[in-house]
Chain A
């Protein structure tokens, strides 16, 4: 054999690809770990066919980042997960920030947390409507009552209904605690302590644990499923600053069937236009 490095290089390419694809097959084999039908509220269109430099279509998983985690992501849970807190050593002026940690998070879809969130928003809207009826007005520096009502209504129409409700290091035991795999999704995520500055910025106080990012948050849509998404503008351009945009869509534009496999990696199995379904 005159050039063993050539054969080794070719074998390496094939072996690594085979390893990756076998992992994909193992993830998708058998019963899915979770299966859900989500809408544009939970899966934002981040790129679409027709974009100049990237013709791939992908959807970004959104969870409610504003939902409070203080009920469950407390000091006890942080200790259980081994999440370190920022500290300021004695005699030092520098705060030392720990690195994020990989954990598994349970995201609840349209569950009790969402219902509480919805009720809170509806109560606020009703209060604001009463204030409007009384003819109350706000200082010009604040958002108008009308504007706030619009913003709250759009939260109700577009905010993700996936809300983090628990976390752990072992996904198996989390699934035992949350067996409904159509309502509770288990995903890998990075987390760290959520902090706020105290003593005029001299020290930090740990409030709760905080989810930094989901490890797989972007879902690729295969070509055969992209047709319903053709011609749609990316969700971010419509939903960001939405209270200033009267043209934003009134309802989510599509629904997506997603499955998660043994390795907690997702894949899209169907995409439908919601408006077409209604017709």
Chain B
């Protein structure tokens, strides 16, 4: 068992106890003293064991505090990373080249060892997360500054190295922040590589959103590989990959001139507008079918966003503003009714 499973189990226990208390207060069911004692002992034993192994949240207050700690640790990690970056740039000119290189290589090594040390000492993972992000910052600083010191021609392969490093730490210590960092770097590498296939220089990869459609689609396929130890990572890949594809389509639906496709930009825009609606609807359906709540919400969000950008194109210039916004509101209510019917039909189908 891993931390996420243990947390889910504890959450189920808490929900069960709340529901039991409710049912008992309504007189539908009543446990004997012996049954209650056995249940309490069993649950307490499990909770203590999970808390000892994984540092999970056993009460609602602990959960709230955990969220606070996550946010604080993220901000702390970003601030320390920025501090390292600026500290190095402030003093690197006072060091000989050999000292610069030695520091640049040693810093990520030490930070990685420190992250591992923290992972062995704490169960919560907050300090491990901070140190892992510091290690990634040091590695990014390492390659980018070595590039500057030796006037090396920039290459997209640096993103692949940073991505591999971030993903190693993400999977090794179960860190979602590092997973996000790894995915961002991998996305940059894939998009740049796809960009070079058309003969363009890799640094121009941002000028053609289709590069990101290919890269995002590849990320969406990663969960096809088994993720038994980190089941929540699979969902992160899906959400991140689809988000990338949706944003790229949104840009192309409004800026066809940025496409690789030959032909009139206006026709390309229409094509991507249709593709956006079809994909959003398909993603909603897939999310409902597979019970991927995040995927369904993402599909619904972009469906509405595509719709609103179309309304803006059609009506903004000739409708009074109050009527324009009223129409948006009415469309939102219409969609709400559709989703409500969908929800109702699902509830009806439930045994």
Complex contacts, B226 vs chain A, CB 8 Å: none
Contact between chains at B146 and A20 (CB < 8 Å)? yes
B contacts with A: majority SS: helix
Q: Is A92 part of the binding interface, using a Cβ–Cβ cutoff of 8 Å?
A: yes
Q: How many residues of B contact A (CB 8 A)?
A: 55
A224 CB contact (under 8 Å) in B92, B96, B101: B96
Cβ–Cβ < 8 Å partners of B257 in chain A: 94-97
Question: B112, A101: Cβ atoms under 8 Å?
Answer: no
How far, in angstroms, from A21 to B148 measured CA to CA in the complex? 12
Asked if A131 is at the interface of the complex by the 8 Å CB criterion, the answer is no
A267 at the interface (CB under 8 A from B): yes
Q: Is the CB–CB distance between A5 and B151 below 8 Å?
A: no
Residue-by-residue, is A80-121 near B (CB-CB < 8 Å gives 1, otherwise 0)? 001000000111111111011110000000000000000000
- Complex Cα–Cα for A264 and B151 (A): 10
Q: Contacts of B199 on A, CB cut-off 8 Å?
A: 82, 101
The answer to whether A100 and B92 have CB atoms under 8 Å apart is no
Q: Is the CB of A265 within 8 A of B151?
A: yes
Is B90's CB under 8 angstroms from A219's CB?
A: no
A265-B150, A267-B150 known; A99 vs B95 contact (CB < 8 Å): no
Distance A226 CA – B147 CA, assembled complex (angstroms): 19
Q: What residues of chain B lie closer than 8 Å to A99, measured between beta carbons?
A: 195, 198, 200-201, 204, 207-208
B265, A92: Cβ atoms closer than 8 Å: yes
Contacts of A224 in B (CB 8 A): 96-97
Residues in A54-99 with C-beta less than 8 Å from chain B: 54-58, 82, 89-97, 99
Interchain CB contact under 8 A, A100 and B204: yes
Which of the residues B96, B147, B168 comes within 8 Å of A222, measured between beta carbons? B96
The smallest C-beta distance from A168 to any residue of chain B, in angstroms, reads 15
Query: Least Cβ distance of A198 to chain B in Å?
Result: 19
Q: Judge if B169 is at the interface, Cβ distance under 8 Å.
A: yes
Which of chain B's residues have a CB closer than 8 A to the CB of A54? Answer: 89-90, 93
Shortest Cβ gap from B260 to chain A (Å): 10
Q: List 5 A-B contacts (CB under 8 A).
A: A5-B173, A9-B135, A190-B201, A220-B148, A220-B149
List residues of chain B with CB under 8 Å of any chain A CB.
86, 89-97, 101, 104-105, 108-109, 112-113, 116, 135, 139, 142-143, 146-154, 161, 164-165, 168-169, 171-173, 195, 198-201, 203-204, 207-208, 256-257, 262-266
Chain A residues within CB distance 8 Å of chain B: 3, 5-6, 8-10, 12-14, 16-17, 20-21, 23-24, 27, 49, 52-58, 82, 89-97, 99-102, 188, 190, 215-216, 218-220, 222-224, 226, 263-267
